[in-house]
Amino acid sequence: MNDKAFIDTNVFIYLYSEDETQKQHISQKAVEKFDCIISTQVLNEFGNVCIGKLNQPPEDVELAINEIIGQCTVLTIEKHTIMQALQIHKRYGYKYFDSLMIASALYSGCKYFLTEDLSDGQVIDNKLTIINIYSEKNAEII
């Protein structure tokens, strides 16, 4: 059994990007190595970025989302996750939507939170380690 890892939206953006081939490769390795957990928030953010910023056709985005759903366990955001996100925001100072993903990761028992954006190496509640998978120092993890 592989370690559980919550996958941040940006990892999927790189996975489906044609511009950042090195980050695409790292993203693919991460998705293959871990038992991947995401929340409905990740799917919504992914769709929003792909359609809005990347100007991809909705049909392509739908195909990508279906692939992601096939590779990951998808959590629905519940009220207990929202309440925990508020506590994480107060305790660690992360933006609310980042805190919401961290709360989802904790709830699902993830060991890692794979991202590019948050504080690399920080441990949340002595349970969840934030890992910037694109940092050379973390290459051995992936």
| Mean pLDDT value of segment 17-34 | 90
CA distance 98 to 89: 8
Structural domains present in the chain: 4-137 (3.40.50.1010)
Cα dihedral: 55, 35, 132, 122 (round 10): 130
Q: Convert the pLDDT of each residue in 48-80 to its tens digit.
A: 999 998 899 999 999 999 999 999 999 999 999
Decide: 133 and 126 in contact? Cβ < 8 Å. Answer: no
> Which has more pLDDT, 62 or 117?
62
The pair of structure tokens assigned to 93 is 């100072």
Q: Which amino acid is at 31?
A: V
Strands 4-7 and 112-115, bridge-based pairing: parallel
**Gyration radius of the chain's alpha carbons:** 14
d(C-alpha 111, C-alpha 42), whole Å: 18
